[in-house]
Amino acid sequence: MSYEPTIAGDVDDLRKDADTIWDPARETLVAVRGMLPTDLPDYVYSFIPGAREVWQEMKAASENVESYLLEGEVAMRALRDAVLWAALDIIGTEASVQDDIAEIREQLRS
Amino acid sequence: MTSYVNVLRQMATTACDKAEDAVDFLDKNAVILATVGADNTIRQWPPLIVVRPQLIQGNVAQIKFVLPLLRRIIELDRTAVKYMGDPDELRRVATALSGADKDSARGRITDLRDSLNPNYMPTRLSWEGRAADSYRLYVGDQPGAVEALLEPINTMSDVLHSVAQGIEDFYVALAGAAISLSKVVIDLVVAILGAVAAGTGIGIAVAALGIVSAILDIAAALLALGTTFLNTQHENEDQLVKLGPSLPGKWLKPLVGDGPPGG
């Protein structure tokens, strides 16, 4: 599917998608990543037979989920950036919008 | 509610502290105790007065000999206490992952999955064209990628609950033997002090045999219980292994800058 510059769209709605959908989505993934038992020490699992192996597998599973979440965070950010770029495209066709452009560029840098 | 294991841990820690105090007391007062013990022995067998210095020296040597063993046992017990496990913490993490609360990882993931629908988004009506169509295709693929998180999150939570229960069952079955190591140290120090008071000779060798026997009993109990609990932990391990190294979902990332979205 080839890219075609956006020519019709409400800039405020595009920015709302960025602010109310994709930024919170990324924050959710960050929060979930913080809940994983990746750093839970082995002694919490006890020395009862087999617990150490469970600890090792739990660590591996957590790390897999963690890296998947990191990919998701990148995807959410890319989607946010995509709508902001689209907003810039539209603004570029309008006059007297330098402040908006500067604001969006700042948001893209964040 | 605090887990039984944490109550046990507190008791075991107290026992370790008390045992350490008792051993410190023995260490600091070794000469006095050896002298009192020797004098009490002489009171019962007066001819031994001629070997009083040797009796004292022998008693001190016995006490000093046994001290490193006692300290090592306490250290071992402290390690055992540290590795008793923490069912409360395991359950806290399990609940954070998969509790009924909307703030749990599962709750957040479910909400996110449901919210990522192009029909609910502010741009649904106002943005048109091929870029908008591409964008909506990308958005439409994200809920599946989010959904893929639910299985591992739920499995991890289930396993954490299971390990927590396993630890509690283990210590209930063990009936508090974990605190026994320090308790036998305390018993040994009490036995030494009793022997000093009675003037029957310090008798550390006999008491030390008692401590070895007590430790062997604890080890045997641990071994016997070990096999009972091993199967459950193997099942937990298998559940995690089955999750595999990668999740079934796939995030779609639009190119940005020179071709957003759908470029």
**A56-90 per-position pLDDT tens digit:** 999 999 999 999 999 999 999 999 998 898 888 88
**Residue B259 pLDDT grade (very low, low, confident, very high; cuts 50, 70, 90):** very low
- Say whether pLDDT at B109 is over 90: yes
For residue B80, the one-letter residue type is A
Q: Do A48 and B128 touch (CB under 8 A)?
A: no
Instruction: Please count the other Cβ atoms lying within 10 Å of the Cβ belonging to residue B153.
Output: 22
Tell me the range of A30-44, B58-72, B117-131 where mean pLDDT is highest. Answer: A30-44
- State the smallest CA–CA distance between residue A14 and chain B in angstroms: 6
Per-residue confidence (pLDDT) for residue B204, from 0 to 100: 64
Burial class of residue B30 in the structure, from the number of CB atoms within 10 Å of its CB (0-12 exposed, 13-18 middle, 19+ buried): middle
Q: Which domain holds residue B71?
A: 4-192+201-242
- Greater pLDDT, B102 or B81: B102
Residue range B41-62: average pLDDT? 89
Is residue A53 situated within a structural domain? no
Is residue A76 situated within a structural domain? yes
Residue with tokens 């689209």: A86
Top residue of B82, B112, B230 to mutate, by most chain A CBs within 10 Å, is: B112
**Residue B136 pLDDT grade (very low, low, confident, very high; cuts 50, 70, 90):** confident
User: Per-residue b/e over A95-105, b at no fewer than 16 CB within 10 Å?
Assistant: eebeebeeebe
Residue among B182, B96, B3 at smallest CA distance from A34: B96
Is residue A104 situated within a structural domain? yes
Polymer length in residues for chain A: 110
Residue range B205-229: average pLDDT? 70
Tell me the H-state helices in chain B.
4-28, 30-44, 52-82, 87-98, 105-115, 123-126, 130-147, 150-174, 180-198, 204-242
Q: What is the largest CA-CA distance in chain A?
A: 71
Per-residue confidence (pLDDT) for residue A12, from 0 to 100: 87
How many Cα neighbours within 13 Å face the side chain of B41? 23
**For residue B109, which residues of chain A lie inside 8 Å, CB to CB?**
28, 32
Structure tokens at A44: 């919490």
**Residue B80 pLDDT grade (very low, low, confident, very high; cuts 50, 70, 90):** confident
Is residue B8 situated within a structural domain? yes
Q: Which of B33-42, B95-104, B221-230 has the lowest mean pLDDT?
A: B221-230
User: Is B177 in CB contact (< 8 Å) with chain A?
Assistant: no
> Domains in chain B: how many in total?
1
User: Residue A82 and residue A90: Cα distance in Å, rounded?
Assistant: 13
- State the smallest CA–CA distance between residue A90 and chain B in angstroms: 10
Residue range B111-133: average pLDDT? 85
Is residue B259 situated within a structural domain? no
Residue among A108, A86, A93 at smallest CA distance from A12: A86
Q: Do A37 and B156 touch (CB under 8 A)?
A: yes
- Say whether pLDDT at B254 is over 80: no
Strand partners, A8: B128
> Domains in chain A: how many in total?
1
**Residue A2 pLDDT grade (very low, low, confident, very high; cuts 50, 70, 90):** very low
Residue range B125-144: average pLDDT? 85
- Percent of residues, chain B, with pLDDT higher than 70: 87
Q: Which domain holds residue A31?
A: 11-36+67-109
Is residue B74 situated within a structural domain? yes
Q: Do A6 and B129 touch (CB under 8 A)?
A: yes
Quickly list DSSP for A38-85: GG--GGGG-SSTTHHHHHHHHHHHHHHHHHHHHHHHHHHHHHHHHHHH
For the stretch B192-214, pLDDT in tens is 787 777 766 666 666 666 777 77
Find all residues with CB under 8 Å of A61, minimum gap 6, and list them: B152, B155, B156, B240, B243
Mean pLDDT of chain B: 84
**Residue B50 pLDDT grade (very low, low, confident, very high; cuts 50, 70, 90):** very high
CA A41 to chain centre: 28
Q: Do B132 and A9 touch (CB under 8 A)?
A: yes
Residue range B186-195: average pLDDT? 79
Per-residue confidence (pLDDT) for residue B21, from 0 to 100: 93
Q: Do B126 and A9 touch (CB under 8 A)?
A: yes
Q: Do B247 and A65 touch (CB under 8 A)?
A: yes
User: Residue B115 and residue B232: Cα distance in Å, rounded?
Assistant: 38
- Greater pLDDT, A54 or A91: A54
Is residue A55 situated within a structural domain? no
Is residue B254 situated within a structural domain? no
Hey, is B236 helix, strand or coil? helix
User: Residue B263 and residue B260: Cα distance in Å, rounded?
Assistant: 6
Per-residue confidence (pLDDT) for residue B206, from 0 to 100: 61
For the stretch B137-171, pLDDT in tens is 888 889 999 999 999 999 999 999 999 999 988 88
Is residue A71 situated within a structural domain? yes
- Across the interface, of A2, A13, A82, the residue whose CB is closest to B122 is A13
Nearest CA in chain B to A44: B85
Between positions 51 and 80 of B, the ones with CB within 8 A of A are 80
pTM: 0.78
Is residue A51 situated within a structural domain? no
Residue with tokens 């988004």: B121
Is residue A48 situated within a structural domain? no
